[in-house]
């Protein structure tokens, strides 16, 4: 199964900032046991690499993305930790080409026609629409979909009120969101409430 097929099956990618690597395995357990076997662990915290490694060891079946990847060094860290794919907030040709050389899929962020065309020039067919809501939301994404043969993963402002609208667009493979894995609940270790949010989703 390709990355795109796995994303289409899951539909929602939890975007997670983990402050303490000790929370990685309990969080992975909640995601897997409540029907959302996917995590995009962002490199916005120092615990990212170790969290990915712990999740990978504990739950080999979990689809793990490394998010907010800005450098080739972070690509190396994500790969060594066991990430399945890379996500970046913008389109950095150096990072994209490095991922291609290393043989790992990357989903870079774009939010306008020129960036979509640059992504296509680099051989990409799946991109992140980011930041989705500030960039024009569903209307902007539909306009891009009308002219470009690529698939999108909208992230940034996607929430329970608008996620169905995004997922209704045929070119959307999945949506990224944070609302089902709030950092404050993780920091408190409130796994029951996170489990409820994941089940509701």
Per-residue pLDDT tens digits for 144-177: 999 999 999 999 999 999 999 999 999 999 999 9
Report the pLDDT value the prediction gives residue 64, as an integer from 0 to 100: 98
Per-residue pLDDT tens digits for 37-96: 999 999 999 999 999 999 999 999 999 999 999 999 999 999 999 999 999 999 999 999
128 among known catalytic residues: yes
Long-range contacts made by residues 71-80, C-beta under 8 angstroms, separation at least 24?
A: 71/95, 72/98, 74/43, 75/99, 75/102, 75/104, 76/102, 77/43, 77/48, 77/49, 78/43, 78/49, 78/52, 78/104, 79/104, 80/49, 80/53
CATH at 20: 3.20.20.70
Instruction: Name the residue range of residue 17's domain.
Output: 3-200
Of the listed 117, 121, 128, 165, which one is catalytic? 128
Domain count, the chain: 1
Question: 3-state DSSP call for residue 11?
Answer: coil
97 among known catalytic residues: no
Report the pLDDT value the prediction gives residue 42, as an integer from 0 to 100: 98
Report the pLDDT value the prediction gives residue 16, as an integer from 0 to 100: 97
Of the listed 11, 40, 97, 121, which one is catalytic? 40
pTM for the model stands at 0.97
Per-residue pLDDT tens digits for 96-106: 999 999 999 99
């Amino acid at each position: 199964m390709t990355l795109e097929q796995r994303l289409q099956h899951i539909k929602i990618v939890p975007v997670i900032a983990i402050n303490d690597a000790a929370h990685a395995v309990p969080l992975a357990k909640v995601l897997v046991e409540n029907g959302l076997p996917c995590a995009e662990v962002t490199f916005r915290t120092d615990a990212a690499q170790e969290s990915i490694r712990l999740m990978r060891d504990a739950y080999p079946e979990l689809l793990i993305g490394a998010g907010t990847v800005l450098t080739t060094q972070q690509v190396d860290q994500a790969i060594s930790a066991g990430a399945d794919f890379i996500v970046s907030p913008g389109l950095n040709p150096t990072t994209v080409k490095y991922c291609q050389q290393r043989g790992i899929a990357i989903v870079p962020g774009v939010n306008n026609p020129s960036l979509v065309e640059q992504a296509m020039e680099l051989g990409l067919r799946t991109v992140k629409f980011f930041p989705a809501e500030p960039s024009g939301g569903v209307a902007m994404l539909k306009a891009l979909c009308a002219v470009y043969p690529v698939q999108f993963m909208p992230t940034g402002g996607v929430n329970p009120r608008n996620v169905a609208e995004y997922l209704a667009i045929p070119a959307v493979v999945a949506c990224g969101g944070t609302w089902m894995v709030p950092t404050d609940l993780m920091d408190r270790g409130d796994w029951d409430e996170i489990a409820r949010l994941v089940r509701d989703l």
